[in-house]
Amino acid sequence: MEIKVGKGLKDLLNENDYVSSTDEKIIEIPLGEIKPNPYQPRYLFDDEKISELADSIKEHGVFQPIIVKKMSGYYAIISGERRYRACKKLGLKTIPAIVRMYEKSKMIQIALIENLQREDLSPVEEAKAYMQIMRELDYNQREVGEKVGKSRSYVTNMLGILALSDDVLGLVDEGKISMGHARVLSKMEDMQRIRELVMLIIEKNLSVRELEQIATLEKKKVETKKSKVNDKYIAYESAINNKYGVKIKISDNKILINNIDEKKLKEIIEKIIG
């Protein structure tokens, strides 16, 4: 699947390619002086693939240097964390690198877009990356979508799954429930029921369509129940409205009075208690 990169980010990735600047020097940096990008969205690394990369590096060396930024007392990886991990696995002392000065916004964007282009991120990693961009760069959902070449609704759906508990998100990361399942579950409010449905998905191998049918049916039951509860208070609401001239809504656990000022409220309370 081709990722359509937002305007400007394709140039940003080209800029991050080490061959784009012929005057840059490739230097050997001790691995002990390097740390991962603090804005790296990916936290799941395939050990088998890292081992395969390590075998390749052992035989052929590191073909492409990593890109780093000089920080206070260390270098932060901008691009090439898998190469860095593979070299550490081999017990190498240094790794070829190019040092560049990047602003925080570029560090975040490059880390996200590179992973999206490779389709390396899990749905949860992707959603958390969007949330991080919004927090760190003060972007709204539309702006995030423009930066990563996605629609605002796509970003909204991705962010929606973060409402799920960590244990459920962990199952998404493990591939035990799909992103489609997670989207349906994220629209539900009862956490206990969500966990019950998660177990049903795993045990019965429920499809997303089957889960949607269950969720729709349960939503209708809840709405019907709420409607019946509210109906029993209609007479009281009407009586109070007629007597005091206020719009009021009564439920089992609260009374809501709309658009009332302090003077009117005081008048009503005095009438009730007097």
Question: Which are the catalytic amino acids?
Answer: 81
| DSSP assigned state of 18 | G
**DSSP helix/strand/coil, 273:** helix
**In whole angstroms, what is the distance from residue 79 CA to residue 66 CA?**
6
CB neighbours (10 Å) of residue 107? 20
- Do residues 136 and 35 touch, judged by C-beta distance below 8 A? no
CA 59 to CA 43: how far, in whole Å?
27
Query: Is 54 within 8 Å of 89 (Cβ atoms)?
Result: yes
Q: Residue 8, by phi and psi: left (phi above 0), alpha (psi -120 to 50) or beta?
A: left
* Element housing 187 (H / E): none
Contact 182, 123 (CB under 8 A): yes
Q: What is the largest CA-CA distance in the chain?
A: 92
What is d(CA 18, CA 149) in angstroms, rounded to the nearest whole number?
A: 24
Q: Do the Cβ atoms of 108 and 39 come closer than 8 Å?
A: yes
Rounded Cα–Cα distance for residues 141 and 155 (Å) = 6
Q: What is the distance between the alpha carbons of residues 141 and 162, in angstroms, rounded to a whole number?
A: 14
| Cα–Cα dist 255/223, whole Å | 19
Bridge partners for 8 per DSSP:
none
